Amino acid sequence: MLNQTTSDALFTQAKDLIPGGVNSPVRAFRSVGGTPVFMQSAAGAWLTDVDGNRYVDFINSWGPMILGHAPAVVLDAVRAALPHSLSFGAPTRRESELAQLITEMVPSIEKVRLVNSGTEACMSAIRVARGYTGRSKILKFEGCYHGHADAFLIAAGSGALTLGTPDSAGVTAGVAQDTLTVPYNDLPALQAAVAANPSQIAAIILEPVVGNMGLVVPQEGYLQALRALCTEHGIVLIFDEVMTGFRLAPGGAQELFGIVPDMTTLGKIIGGGLPVGAYGGRADIMNQVAPVGKVYQAGTLSGNPLATAAGLAQLRHLQQHPELYAQLDATTAHLADGSRQIAQELGLNYTVNRVGSMFSLFFTAAPVNNLEDAKQCDLPAFGRYFHAMLERGIYLAPSQFEALFISTAITDELVDKYLTACRESLVEAHR
Ligand code: PLP
């Protein structure tokens, strides 16, 4: 048994002060049970908790830490920025440098606005799309997560799904009415929804590779058909690349699949671990944003000097080292294929979905192509597996409905450690 004495005490205290003891719901371990691990420090692939236990990190702060924890290149940039003040609320050179780099790496983005989170990016992007088209409705996919703005908490994925609240209380009927939802990877359902709402849909927003119902891959031709449908109907196509941006390729999922969206939202990796998000796209659309256009959006800390320093350093490193993507792909293939093989050897035939450095082991033998498929998983067995892995020093997402995010700090030796633990934990979870 792990010694969790200090985590237990801190969690008890936190629960008195913070709802559920956490500042983001899925951290509370509700779906897997037990006490969340309180972290002390991390370096490279390794996390150390407040009781001194060490774990290999396969979540990496839900995606941002693609170079592992505390990489020198990012820390040095933050250290260099630190003495020059933590915020100005005025323009700085680095904001344009970061914008320049984003437009180079993601060419569909001609103009970009920096914000402080993925939620803000997605919330702002749909406002801009509404301003641009003069239409009210947006369409999203069941099980996709675009942050916690009201419009997205309809059939939401991620923690909302994990906790059984995909349709949040507190979202008004009026807002819900303007959010259409259809199943992912179901083209006829999408076509029907578009046909039923002629000239009313401002934007279709999606995760081009879904990370928030576990990892779900777009089926052959699906993204192309979606692009064509949006063009035909004058709908703004928004790729939410908060997870996939700079991860699946330097230019994200849109580069990998060769699709040009009208707008893109970014977060996570773009801040190197500090709070940054961004939304951008075609210049004619982005010129709707104040002070050029009439769509208002602002932020006291937007373009924050430390956050831009961290993000710029991490993105530059990725741009200058394209070989890291091949490394991440090989490492993750090894993890995913190994997990599939072990499950098969144990007679479990579990489904493993992977794209680049994101993957999920689903506790079901059926294919997982949408939310309904993901919901078929054996969640109690997943909970037992999660804790068995934790005991063996492997830190996974505490929910079946999440992807794992692999960092460049995962070595072959750590892949072997993971696979050994995976075999033992699958056995333990099904005893
Ligand atoms: N979009 C996607 C695809 C996400 O995965 C997330 C968060 O996990 C968000 C948006 C929201 O980002 P944030 O948590 O930074 O607000």
Q: Which atom of ligand 1 is least distant from the CA of 62?
A: 8
381 and 301 fall within a common domain: no
Q: What per-residue confidence (pLDDT) applies to 165?
A: 74
CATH of the domain at 363: 3.90.1150.10
Q: What per-residue confidence (pLDDT) applies to 166?
A: 79
200 and 349 fall within a common domain: no
Site to probe by mutation for ligand 1, drawn from 62, 268, 360 as the one with most ligand atoms within 8 Å of Cβ, is: 268
261 and 193 fall within a common domain: yes
Q: What per-residue confidence (pLDDT) applies to 82?
A: 98
Q: What per-residue confidence (pLDDT) applies to 354?
A: 98
Q: What per-residue confidence (pLDDT) applies to 16?
A: 98
Q: Which of 57, 186, 240, 262 is catalytic?
A: 240
CATH of the domain at 156: 3.40.640.10
66: closest CA among 389, 373, 329? 329
Q: What per-residue confidence (pLDDT) applies to 162?
A: 80
Distances (CA, A) of 426 to 45, 311, 346, 376, 403: 23, 38, 8, 18, 18
> pTM of the prediction?
0.97
Instruction: Give phi and psi for 53, each to the nearest 5.
Output: -70, 145
Residues of the chain with pLDDT below 50 are: none
Q: Compute, in angstroms, the gap from residue 147 CA to the centroid of ligand 1.
A: 5
Please answer whether residues 213 and 262 qualify as being in contact, where contact means their C-beta atoms are separated by less than 8 angstroms.
no
> How far apart are alpha carbons 139 and 132 in whole angstroms?
16
The per-residue b/e assignment along 275-300, b for 16 or more CB within 10 angstroms, e otherwise, is: bbbbbbbbeebbebbeeeeebebebe
Q: Compute, in angstroms, the gap from residue 265 CA to the centroid of ligand 1.
A: 9
Q: What per-residue confidence (pLDDT) applies to 362?
A: 98
305 within ligand 1 shell (Cβ under 6 A): no
Q: Compute, in angstroms, the gap from residue 62 CA to the centroid of ligand 1.
A: 9
267 within ligand 1 shell (Cβ under 6 A): yes
122 within ligand 1 shell (Cβ under 6 A): yes
240 within ligand 1 shell (Cβ under 6 A): yes
Please answer whether residues 172 and 215 qualify as being in contact, where contact means their C-beta atoms are separated by less than 8 angstroms.
no
Strands lying side by side in the sheet with 39-43: 39-43, 46-49, 54-57, 394-395
Q: Which of 55, 57, 111, 145 is catalytic?
A: 145
Residue where a domain terminates, one of 320, 354, 370: 320
Question: Counting beta carbons within 10 angstroms of the beta carbon of residue 22, is it exposed (0 to 12), middle (13 to 18) or buried (19 or more)?
Answer: middle
> How far apart are alpha carbons 171 and 194 in whole angstroms?
23
Residue where a domain terminates, one of 272, 298, 320: 320
> Is 268 designated active site?
yes
355 and 260 fall within a common domain: no
Number of domains the chain contains:
2
93 and 194 fall within a common domain: yes
96 and 211 fall within a common domain: yes
252 within ligand 1 shell (Cβ under 6 A): no
418 and 394 fall within a common domain: yes
Query: CB within 8 A of 425, min separation 6: which ones?
Result: 385, 388, 389, 392, 394
Residue numbers of the domain that contains 142: 72-320
> How far apart are alpha carbons 40 and 142 in whole angstroms?
36
Strands lying side by side in the sheet with 263-266: 111-115, 277-281, 263-266, 236-240, 201-206, 137-141, 179-182
Residue where a domain terminates, one of 295, 320, 345: 320
397 and 251 fall within a common domain: no
Q: What are residue 362's DSSP bridge partners?
A: 351
287 and 344 fall within a common domain: no
93 and 219 fall within a common domain: yes
Instruction: Give phi and psi for 118, each to the nearest 5.
Output: -65, -35
Please answer whether residues 357 and 331 qualify as being in contact, where contact means their C-beta atoms are separated by less than 8 angstroms.
yes
125 within ligand 1 shell (Cβ under 6 A): no
> Is 373 designated active site?
no
Confirm whether the ipTM is greater than 0.95. Answer: yes
131 and 12 fall within a common domain: no
126 and 189 fall within a common domain: yes
